[in-house]
Every structure is written in structure tokens, then in C-alpha cells.
Amino acid sequence: MFNTTPLEKDGYVKLPEKAVNMINMQEGDQFLVLGDENPESIGIALVPVEFFTAMTQGILNHTKVSDK
């Protein structure tokens, strides 16, 4: 856990500097917002689009190889 942060006007959340630096976020970077609505594990996660794309592409490529 990095810190707490308030929800600001218009739904903005300022991420703690340590979190931003950890994955080298830059202004304009795109993220998927993932959510878990289960009351026992409710939460959200930000995943860089490039990471998600590479991860899913790797899964798809592995599946194609396995199908042959």
C-alpha cells in the first residue's frame, strides 16, 4: 500500500508519487480500469494498456500454438 488519497471533483484521483514512479507513469499514458464488485474483495486496479495488450497477446499466441 502506498498511501491514502481522496476522490476529488469530477472523479479525479491523484496517485501517490511512489505509485507513479514504480511503473514510470507519464502524463497521457493509457490504463485499463479493472474492478471487482464482490463485496468480500471489492476494489479497482489500474493496468497499463501496453502491459495488458502484451499479456493477452502472449496468451493468445500460446493458445494458438497449443491448438496445433
DSSP-derived letter for residue 16 is: P
Task: Say what the pLDDT of residue 9 is.
Answer: 92
> What mean pLDDT comes out for the span 2-30?
90
pLDDT at 43 over 70: yes
pLDDT at 7: 93
**Span 4-29, average pLDDT:** 91
- Residue 49's pLDDT is 92
Q: Long-range contact list for 41-50, CB < 8 A, 24+ apart?
A: 48/23
pLDDT digits (tens, 9 = 90+) for 24-35: 899 999 999 999
Type of residue numbered 28: G
- The residue among 58 and 5 whose pLDDT is bigger is 5
